[in-house]
Amino acid sequence: MSRITVACLDMAGTTVRDEGTVMAAFTAAITAHNLPAAAFNQAMKHVRASMGQSKIEVFRHILGDEQDAQEANASFERHYAGAVSAGKVAPMPGATDVFAACRRAGIRVCLATGFSPATRDAIVSALGWSDMVDLLLSPADAGRGRPWPDLPLTALLRLGGGSVAELAVAGDTPSDVESGLRAGAGVVAGVLTGASTREELSAVAARADLPGSPLVLESIADLLPHLGLSG
């Protein structure tokens, strides 16, 4: 039997394939604010560096004004919702197999994301995943977004897990990995199906001065053996 009881898995780039629609939505939302070219380029650099984090916090950092940040976040949500409605999201290969294998083994699955609850729920509904996972979390549900540990620790608490050694965390960004390491999760994995490189994911522990060494996997499907499971 697996020693893991709760798996907290990221969505876009990890379990959800969206063909660049996150970056397209960010670009549209920031373009609407007519930033000077240098400021726009710096903003997009920050977007790429903060992938996986709370979207509203990203806009607060870039724009520095709460109303502007809220307007940009609403624009982002509209653009991404349009992509979902247009069928531009799909399961990442192996994702549903991971959900099914976890369920058979009694491992409870949380999908965690930096999206708002409304966008998150629209994605899950579009993919038909509502009955395949046990919990959905956004930063609004947990306190702070990544790279803080609130999302995985909230998943552990709400799903009745035991110690943090029984928690697995997986995502495609350094922020995902840092969140899992900060939570003290028994398994922390970065996957290479997003925009991050092996080197970026491997370097998180040293960069953030955190104990532990994350796994770096080709895809979410490769997580199963590290949970003590087969497909």
* Dist. CA 85–CA 156, nearest whole Å: 31
pTM recorded for the entire structure = 0.91
- φ, ψ of residue 90 to 5 degrees: the values are -150, 160
The DSSP symbol for 222 reads G
> Does residue 105 contact residue 229 with C-beta atoms inside 8 Å?
yes
Close Cβ partners of 225 (under 8 Å, ≥ 6 residues apart): none
Give the pLDDT confidence score for residue 72 in this predicted structure: 95
Which DSSP category does 50 fall into?
A: T
Q: Is the pLDDT score of 160 beyond 50?
A: yes
Q: Which ranges of 17-94 does DSSP label H, i.e. alpha helix?
A: 21-31, 37-49, 55-63, 66-85
Tell me the per-residue pLDDT of 85-122, one tens digit each, with 9 for 90 and over.
899 999 999 999 999 999 999 999 999 999 999 999 99
Q: How confident is the model at residue 1 (pLDDT cuts 50, 70, 90)?
A: very low
